[in-house]
Amino acid sequence: MALLAEIIGVIGVALILYAYFALQSSRMSPSQPRFHLINFLGAMAVIFSLIYDWNLAQFVLEAVWAALSVLGLVICLRRRQPAEDSHGN
């Protein structure tokens, strides 16, 4: 099981790096929900791997990364909702 956790952790790192590369190369924008979703999934995968090889500093980093990704995702989704007209309809 430890090997599987390590593989999942490496996949998580790859997801985070992919999102960063896609952002830097203009293939993805922070206004896209998938950017935040990929970051969240990557952080959660790394956190999963820490169950078998604990590192407090890494856990704190990934937990904050995941929380900020959820915040970004919520903001993106709220912006995509159609605005109500001035009459509240």
Vertex 41: Cα angle to 83 and 35 (nearest 5): 45
Three-state DSSP at 53 gives coil
pLDDT digits (tens, 9 = 90+) for 75-86: 999 998 876 544
pLDDT digits (tens, 9 = 90+) for 49-74: 999 999 999 999 999 999 999 999 99
DSSP 56: H
End-to-end CA distance of the chain: 53
